[in-house]
Structure 1
Amino acid sequence: MDPRVKAFMDSMKGKRVDMIGVGVSHRELIPLLVSKGAKVALCDRKTREQLGETADWLESLGVQLKLGPDYLDRLDGEIIFRSPGMKYLTPQLTAARRRGQVVTSELEVFLELCPCPVYGVTGSDGKTTTTTLIAEMLEKQGFTVHKGGNIGRALLPILEQVSPDDRAVVELSSFQLISMRSSPKVAVVTNVAPNHLDVHKDMAEYIDAKKNIFAHQTGFSRTVLNLDNEITASFGELTRGETFFFTRRKKPEQGAFLGEDGTLTMVYRGEEIPILPMGEIRIPGLHNVENYLAAISAVWGEVSPEVICQVARTFGGVEHRIEFVRELCGVKWYNDSIATSPTRAIAGLNAFDQKMIILAGGYDKKIPFEPLAPVMVEKVKLLILTGVTAPKIEAAVRACPGFAASGMEIRHAKDLAEAVAIAHREAKAGDVVSLSPACASFDSYPNFEERGKHFKALVHAL
Structure 2
Amino acid sequence: MNNKLEQFKNSIRNKRVAVLGIGISNIPLIKYLVKSGVNVTAFDKNTSENLSDAFSELNELPVRYSLGSDYLEKLEGFDVIFRTPGMRPDLPQLLNAVEKGAELTSEMEVFISLCPAQIFAVTGSDGKTTTTTLIYKILTEEGYNCWLGGNIGTPLLSKIDKVKETDKVVLELSSFQLMTIGNCPSVSVITNISPNHLDVHKSLNEYIDAKKNIFINQTENDKLILNYDNDITRGFGSEAKGKCVYFSRLNKVDTGVIFKENKIVVKNENEEIEIVDAESIIIPGVHNIENYMAAAAATIDYVKPETIKKIAVSFNGVEHRIELVRELNGIKFYNSSIDSSPSRTIAALSTFKNKVILISGGKDKGIPYDSIGQIIAEKVKCLLLIGATAPKIEEALCNYINQTDSECEVKIIHCNTYEEVVSRAYEEAAPGDCIILSPASTSFDMFKNFEHRGNTFKELVNKLK
Q: Does the pair score TM above 0.5?
A: yes
Residue 264 of structure 1 corresponds to 264
Residue 170 of structure 2 corresponds to 169
Residue 103 of structure 1 corresponds to 104
Residue identity in the other structure for 1:428: A
3-state SS of the aligned residue for 1:340?
coil
Residue 124 of structure 2 corresponds to 123
Shift of 1:403: 7.1
Residue identity in the other structure for 1:446: K
Pairs aligned (count): 461
Q: Is the 8 A contact 1:254 1:270 kept in 2?
A: no
Shift of 1:31: 1.4
Q: In the aligned structure 1, how far is the partner of 2:269 from the partner of 2:148?
A: 30
Shift of 1:57: 4.4
Q: Is the 8 A contact 1:34 1:40 kept in 2?
A: yes
Shift of 1:153: 1.8
Q: Is the 8 A contact 2:27 2:54 kept in 1?
A: no
Q: In the aligned structure 1, how far is the partner of 2:357 from the partner of 2:58?
A: 46
Q: Which moved more, 1:23-32 or 1:135-144?
A: 23-32
Q: Which moved more, 1:11-20 or 1:266-275?
A: 266-275
Q: Is the 8 A contact 1:19 1:26 kept in 2?
A: yes
Q: In the aligned structure 2, how far is the partner of 1:154 from the partner of 1:435?
A: 29
| 1:379 corresponds to 2:379 | yes
3-state SS of the aligned residue for 1:288?
helix
| 1:223 corresponds to 2:224 | yes
Residue 24 of structure 2 corresponds to 24
Shift of 1:253: 2.1
Residue 54 of structure 1 corresponds to 54
Residue identity in the other structure for 1:179: T
| 1:83 corresponds to 2:59 | no
3-state SS of the aligned residue for 1:314?
coil
1:96-153, CA deviations, whole angstroms, 9 ceiling, x for partnerless residues? 1111100000000011111010000000000000000000000000000100101142
Residue identity in the other structure for 1:10: N
3-state SS of the aligned residue for 1:276?
strand
Shift of 1:9: 1.8
Shift of 1:404: 5.4
Residue identity in the other structure for 1:285: G
3-state SS of the aligned residue for 1:400?
helix
Q: In the aligned structure 1, how far is the partner of 2:42 from the partner of 2:142?
A: 41
3-state SS of the aligned residue for 2:383?
strand
Q: In the aligned structure 2, how far is the partner of 1:450 from the partner of 1:420?
A: 15
Residue 245 of structure 2 corresponds to 244
Q: Is the 8 A contact 1:373 1:397 kept in 2?
A: yes
Shift of 1:60: 2.5
Matches within 5 A, 1:25-424: 25-55=25-55, 57-75=57-75, 76-259=77-260, 261-401=261-401, 402=404, 405-424=407-426
3-state SS of the aligned residue for 1:118?
strand
Q: Is the 8 A contact 1:377 1:403 kept in 2?
A: no
Residue identity in the other structure for 1:442: F
Residue identity in the other structure for 1:281: I
Shift of 1:56: 5.2
Q: In the aligned structure 2, how far is the partner of 1:196 from the partner of 1:154?
A: 22
**Structure 1 residues 65, 39: closer, same or farther in 2, change over 3 A?**
same
Residue identity in the other structure for 1:111: I
Q: In the aligned structure 2, how far is the partner of 1:237 from the partner of 1:265?
A: 24
Q: In the aligned structure 2, how far is the partner of 1:58 from the partner of 1:281?
A: 44
Residue identity in the other structure for 2:221: F
Q: In the aligned structure 2, how far is the partner of 1:164 from the partner of 1:252?
A: 34
Q: Is the 8 A contact 2:19 2:41 kept in 1?
A: yes
When normalised by structure 2's length, the TM-score is 0.97
Q: In the aligned structure 2, how far is the partner of 1:269 from the partner of 1:223?
A: 18
Q: In the aligned structure 2, how far is the partner of 1:324 from the partner of 1:58?
A: 37
**Structure 1 residues 11, 201: closer, same or farther in 2, change over 3 A?**
same
When normalised by structure 1's length, the TM-score is 0.98
Q: Which moved more, 1:264-273 or 1:138-147?
A: 264-273
Residue 457 of structure 1 corresponds to 459
Residue 430 of structure 1 corresponds to 432
Q: In the aligned structure 2, how far is the partner of 1:58 from the partner of 1:408?
A: 52
Residue 444 of structure 2 corresponds to 442
Q: In the aligned structure 1, how far is the partner of 2:254 from the partner of 2:103?
A: 43
Q: Is the 8 A contact 1:263 1:276 kept in 2?
A: yes
Q: In the aligned structure 2, how far is the partner of 1:269 from the partner of 1:331?
A: 49
Shift of 1:232: 0.3
**Structure 1 residues 93, 449: closer, same or farther in 2, change over 3 A?**
same
Shift of 1:422: 0.6
Shift of 1:417: 1.4
Q: In the aligned structure 1, how far is the partner of 2:454 from the partner of 2:420?
A: 15
3-state SS of the aligned residue for 2:149?
strand
1:421-459, CA deviations, whole angstroms, 9 ceiling, x for partnerless residues? 011011001111100100000000010000000001111
Q: In the aligned structure 2, how far is the partner of 1:398 from the partner of 1:287?
A: 26
Percent identity of paired positions between Structure 1 and Structure 2? 46
**Structure 1 residues 307, 57: closer, same or farther in 2, change over 3 A?**
closer
1:171-207, CA deviations, whole angstroms, 9 ceiling, x for partnerless residues? 0000000101111000000000000000000000000
Q: In the aligned structure 1, how far is the partner of 2:35 from the partner of 2:220?
A: 38
Shift of 1:25: 2.1
Q: In the aligned structure 2, how far is the partner of 1:371 from the partner of 1:421?
A: 28
Q: Is the 8 A contact 1:24 1:152 kept in 2?
A: no
Q: In the aligned structure 2, how far is the partner of 1:221 from the partner of 1:162?
A: 20
3-state SS of the aligned residue for 1:456?
helix
Q: In the aligned structure 2, how far is the partner of 1:59 from the partner of 1:91?
A: 31
Residue identity in the other structure for 1:432: C
Shift of 1:51: 1.3
1:360-388, CA deviations, whole angstroms, 9 ceiling, x for partnerless residues? 00000111111011111110000000001
3-state SS of the aligned residue for 2:205?
helix
Shift of 1:346: 0.5
Residue identity in the other structure for 1:286: V
Shift of 1:358: 0.1
Q: In the aligned structure 2, how far is the partner of 1:262 from the partner of 1:328?
A: 33
Q: Is the 8 A contact 2:190 2:233 kept in 1?
A: yes
Shift of 1:59: 4.5
Shift of 1:54: 2.5
**Structure 1 residues 210, 53: closer, same or farther in 2, change over 3 A?**
closer
